[in-house]
Structure 1
Amino acid sequence: MERGWILILTLALSLTACGGSKNSGAELTVFAAASLQETLTEIGENYQREHPGVTLVFNFDSSGTLKTQIEEGADCDIFISAGQKQMNQLDAAAASAVNADAPEENAEDSLDFIASNTRFNLLENKVALVVPEGNPAGIQNFGGLKAALEAGDVLLAMGNEDVPVGQYTQKIFAYFGLDEAALNAAGVLTYGSNVKEVTTQVSEGTVDCGIIYGTDAFSAGLTVVDTATAKMCGQVIYPAAALKNSKSPEEAQAFLDYLRTPAAGAVLEAVGFTPLG
């Protein structure tokens, strides 16, 4: 009889062990802003070493492009945006509660993709004015850029209007009273579909300067000649959240929790991000 109970207990423990590893082999698809490519890749490698049963698959692009892909039904477990606007457009609850003083952040047609109680502000970045090696155009700050653009003396690279870094640039233009349409017609602007494309234009010296994130400038080894203040373009906050249709919600939440740990924060801080989680 005692032997029978031992067999039953052994079988029960075996089944419990199998149940405990049911999420081993889980694959998480993370859609993240292009400016996070280097840091999130490193964080992901660290996480997978600590959690060998989880595979992280990253899709890095502009937040606007990622948002559209999610709306069109792409498989995604976690979304990390470089701006609140793109996250709000997927988060009906948040969009309806947006401060009336910031109507440009509102999303009239927001859809309900975001899992409740998973969204948080992960980090803050800075918008930077950068120049190629040697700074041949002699750009020193945003004030000097304004004068040079109005005189037609420089070529500036910026993000498209549906890209967060481009939207921050548009706010800088508004702050300095610059007319983007007029500047574009004058041929002093070039565009990139994400911040990496803008960064590449500056790195290759095909433009005189560019407006990107401070962290991308750090990763690319570019010279920052000025940094935008909150008055110029607002705070650059990156929200993160799990998607309602995540196939592994528990694993998605576990990775989001990891992003808020000191270990992940150290990787973010190393390139200039300010962790907020």
Structure 2
Amino acid sequence: MEKNNTEKLKEVLSQTISQEGIEKKLKENSNEKPNETNKTKPKSSSSSKKAKSINPELSIPKVTPQAKPKIKNTNDMRFINYLIYSLCLIIIITLSTIIYLLLEKDKQVVPPVEPKIKKEVIIKKVIEPKEVEVIKEKVVTKVETKIVDLDNKNFRKFYYTQKAKVVKCYDFKANSSLLTPTCQQKITDFVKNTKNLTRLEIIAVVANADNVVFNKIKDDINKQPKAVQNRVKEYLIRGFSRQRVIETASFIRENLNDYAVVTPTNYYVKSSKDNKGIIIKGFYTTEGK
């Protein structure tokens, strides 16, 4: 019976029941024990009688009742259960937090690192152009004149030399004896660049367009003979050509007198191509080379 009681207690303890249930079970078990002992008492008396009658010397060994299993206090069990539950809860919470943190860490996208581009700083120096003063040097060439005794032999040598260079100016206006700026520059370059220049000869060039004066008096002398008309025309054109020579000679004497001597001419050139201007012959010698 005691074995049965212990087994029942084990079953009761194995089941998770409340403290009141455990107390009820214990009371039921305690009530059952006296009933069982009462039932067994008459048997023991009869058996004792039989024993006494059989052999008084043989005594029945006393049966020592087994020790009842100690039942732990329910408060201690309850505390242990709470402790186990709390530990399990803490473990679950810690594991869940660790898993959550790991998942969140994986979810975090690392932003791409932008490559640092080094900006080249270009410093531009603006150099302002300096104003350069251009000093024009006027080169004055000193002409050394060689004084030669002009006897008949030397004079002919210098005057009648056949070595000559020519410059032409055909940009004069009709019935005009004034030199244009282009013609003045051309004469200046010619005189300065011709070495050993001794004299200049100026020849006038006229065209039909220069007969302006004759055309004005043509009607007045129309009644005169043809020879007279031609002579008047010749005199007018000769005088006009002479005026061109005088204007050119005066320009040379005023600006280029140190370079050469101007000699007069008594003729002119009549142009068939309507050229109007002058021709200058520059005579030079080989002396001094």
TM-score after normalising by structure 1: 0.21
TM-score after normalising by structure 2: 0.20
Q: Which structure: greater strand fraction?
A: 1
